[in-house]
């Protein structure tokens, strides 16, 4: 069984995994021709010139990833590997060429979503104290590295102090919303508020 036949299942497996974005090619260095090809996105076929002279002369067995381009403007990322026989000579060169078109488009879309935010419109949010509540609680749990439902009593008192300073606790009907945000009962919240009013410097 020749080297190309032995490697054919491997090449087909790679092509299936990366389909439809990649072609896999086996080049024959002896003839400088394509011996086999899977998913030919470049339009080449078996028997076409490989043009591997420069690749073989470097003395390396693995090349890339390196950029290539197709005539229609598509960009490729390519990797090539020299497959040697028992005598150490190059039997084949395996190349995987990945069409970057879909990935580049995805990157552009993600970059657009990651654009800097313009800031919160004051006219819409200047009276939305629940946004302030979420900001204060969220900032605190990130600061202490503890989930909100696992905060200790002194930590909850600290959060309530910050909410009081931010004016949240003075809002009408804020108690049930604050209790829900802190994952505690309303009675537990009232007890904490009583402790906070009794000792403003607590905890």
Closest CA to 90 of 139, 171, 27, 43: 27
| Domain extent listing, the chain | 3-101, 122-198
- Please give the pLDDT value at position 14: 93
Q: What superfamily in CATH does domain 3-101 come from?
A: PAS domain (3.30.450.20)
Residues 6+ apart with CB under 8 A from 167: 129, 132
* Distance (Å, whole) CA 62 – CA 55: 10
Q: In Å, how far from its chain's centre is CA 101? A: 17
d(CA 138, CA 105): 34
With 0-12 / 13-18 / 19 or more C-beta atoms within 10 angstroms meaning exposed / middle / buried, residue 187 is: exposed
Task: Give, for all 203 residues of the chain, the pLDDT tens digit.
Answer: 688 888 999 999 999 998 888 999 999 988 888 999 999 988 888 998 887 755 545 567 888 888 887 767 788 888 999 998 888 888 899 999 998 888 878 888 877 776 665 555 454 444 578 878 888 998 899 999 989 889 999 999 999 999 999 888 888 888 888 999 999 999 999 999 998 888 655 55
């Amino acid at each position: 069984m020749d080297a190309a036949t032995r490697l054919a299942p491997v090449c087909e497996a790679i092509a299936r995994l990366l389909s439809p974005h990649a072609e896999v090619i086996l080049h024959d260095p002896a003839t400088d021709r394509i011996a086999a090809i899977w998913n030919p996105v470049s339009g080449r076929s078996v028997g076409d010139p490989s043009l591997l002279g420069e690749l073989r002369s470097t003395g390396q067995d693995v090349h890339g990833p390196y950029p290539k381009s197709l005539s229609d403007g598509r960009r490729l990322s390519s990797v090539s590997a020299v497959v040697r026989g028992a005598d150490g000579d190059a039997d084949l060169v395996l190349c995987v060429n990945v069409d970057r078109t879909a990935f580049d488009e995805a990157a552009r879309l993600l970059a657009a979503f990651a654009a800097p935010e313009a800031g919160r419109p004051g006219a819409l949010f200047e009276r939305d104290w629940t946004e302030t509540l979420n900001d204060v609680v969220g900032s605190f749990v990130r600061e202490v590295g503890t989930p909100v439902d696992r905060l200790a009593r002194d930590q909850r008192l600290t959060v309530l102090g910050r909410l009081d300073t931010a004016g949240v606790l003075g809002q009408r009907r804020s108690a049930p919303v604050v209790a829900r945000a802190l994952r505690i009962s309303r009675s537990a919240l009232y007890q904490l508020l009583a402790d906070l009013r009794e000792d403003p410097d607590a905890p």
